[in-house]
Amino acid sequence: MPLSLVAALALAATPAPAKTQPFNHHDMISMRRLSNPRVSPDGTQVAYVLRSTDLEANRGRTDLWLVGVDGSAPRQLTSHPDADSDPTWAPDGKSLFFLSSRGGSSQVWRLPIDGGEPTQVTKLPLDVGTFRLSPDGARLAVSMEVFPDCAGLDCNTQREAERSKRKATGRTYDKLFARHWDTWKDGRRSHIFVVPVAGGTPVDLMKGMDADGPTKPFGGPEEYTFTPDGKSVVFTARDVGRTESWSTDLDLFVSPIDGKARPRKLTEKNRATDTSPVFSPDGKSLAYLAMSRPGYEADRYRVIVRAWPGGQERVLAEDWDRSAGGLAWSPDSKTLFATAGHIGQQPLFALDVASGKVRQITKDGTDDSPQPAAGNRLVYVHDDLDSPADLFVINQDGTGTKQLTQVNQDTLARVRFGGFEQFEFPGWNNETVRAYVVKPVDFDPKRQYPLAFLIHGGPQGSFGNHFHYRWNPQVYAGRGYVAVMVDFHGSTGYGQAFTDAIRDDWGGKPLEDLQKGLAAALQRYPFISKEKKCALGASYGGYMINWIAGNWADGFKCLVNHDGILDERMGYFDTEELWFPEWEHKGTPWENPEGYRKHSPIEHVGKWKTPMMVIHGGQDFRVVETQGLGTFTALQRRGIPSKLLYFPEENHWVLRPANSLQWHDEVLGWLDQWTRN
């Protein structure tokens, strides 16, 4: 019996255990994670990526799976120990191209759907980071790390070989970025190449450009695409010279696939971000996402529709006060499907291209990756606060929802979650603010429960109806805590003015919202203990923990600060993306010193008294480790009970399974220490 069929039958036949247990962080880390769905050309099948956790190897493993749009015959397509990802259908629907690290290098492979072994398509001397397939299936656009001044790939491999032989290890820089996110710069850039599927010499479409395509650190294949005729590639890049570290001017460029002409900038007029190009099926329109305010990374993403190749543009649904993402065209080119944060949820929306009218398709939870399927339906990924991600299908009119996969059926059958609900209260300026409460597993309304008060990062983010793998409130609910999460001013999904409100007021409106949100929760939910409360946060949430320590010190028994800023002024000089603090604090520290001083936690260390756990990653270049070490130093010098948890190899997030387990063990132990007595 084929391995894929055995796996499918085993999943379907797994009996539900007789006993269940409260959900915990071990359950969370062991869960399978579904992503990257791709609907077949005929709309009847969906290929997707499924990540499982290999605790022995301390890493995730990704394989390709396939399921019918009707939910039939889920089967595993690959089972190689190395990573397989990014499934892309051939135009005839008979095979899948995918990215794999099998063989020791990341290359593009091809797999027949009806059976057979994968074959390697690219055999390039450098790793392929991302790829896209041309409309006729004859060419690949691939991204690779290269030295911009090199004439060919041989030059790159030779230069790398020469550098590896040097005894001196020093690097020199004459401009920023020197490092970004978690990586020191070494002179290479991610460039997009075109190579025939049948083999041939790759052509660098960005030759000589001192810029990255896709952009770093999080850009992927959604940032570039072939034109409908397959003769050019439209891609996203930030080509701004020495201002790169303080510019958000991402632009769309178009380049012929032969590389004989320099890339032409399509979005010259907009000095803010332009990204995520998607061509309509009829080839007449290019849709993309655009911000309007330079220097602001959390501005509203508007949907732009550009006539192709003519160039006339218009904003679609200008009055729709939501930030769009995940664009996908309907087969008839009359509708654009999108996702957007919306009052603590992330539903699917349909935008009529002719009129600009917006229609909400789904309601609760977090929905992502909408794609048209056969029968006037949409395939998408859905999760919520007590359900990890699975594939769903829905009619485009919002009826007929059906779940296609149950990738965590075995885990869900043996765990119990806490119930949750959203509530609202008058926050700063009596404006409506919303929050979620997640009740403890096996909730008893007659009992009193300790509180885990979770504060999201960003700060332009949201702790919404979403199943998170780093900050999951169900982990605290399974431990016997009530979790409360306030979407304070600055959060996304409540209109752009609400998001903008945090600018130059990091310690003002958000703190007031958090204080009023906690008071509202205590009044509304009498089962929350008024004495046994701890607050936790990361990134901006970690900053807020430091701010709370000096400005709301009587509110909590303990605090947990993950990668949080202590000194806003020094935080500017040791971070990498300078546009962020320059926007948030209205200029540089020498132009507006008061903007950095007035809400800097370091100004209030003398008032600290609450026990705090400090956590930091050694490869975090967004909020550097000295911010965490400085926080711990201040706590220790003041004689405040405190603990430092340091991960030398982690960045702004904790990603390795073993480290995530340790993180949760330490944090939950810290909460127990201060609330269980």
Active-site residue list: 539, 620, 652
The token pair at 193 is: 């190449």
State the helix-helix crossing angle for 509-524 and 540-551, rounded to 10 degrees: 80
Residue 39: name the closest of 390, 393, 360 by CA. 393
The token pair at 97 is: 């191209």
The torsion region of residue 58 among left (phi > 0), alpha (psi -120 to 50) and beta comes to left
Give the whole-angstrom CA distance, residue 215 versus residue 211: 8
State CA 197 to chain mean position distance. Answer: 31
Residue 420: name the closest of 325, 307, 512, 344 by CA. 344
The two beta strands, 420-426 and 432-438, are antiparallel
Q: Find out whether the peptide bond into 214 is cis, omega within 30 degrees of 0.
A: yes
Which 3-state string (H, E, C) describes 1-40? CCHHHHHHHHHHHCCCCCCCEECCHHHHHHCCEEEEEEEC
**Cα dihedral sign for 242, 244, 249, 254?**
positive
The two beta strands, 482-487 and 449-455, are parallel
Q: Cβ(135)–Cβ(117) under 8 Å?
A: no
Q: Is 463 exposed, middle or buried (0-12, 13-18, 19+ CB in 10 A)?
A: buried
Residue 656: name the closest of 27, 24, 56 by CA. 56
Give the whole-angstrom CA distance, residue 285 versus residue 327: 13
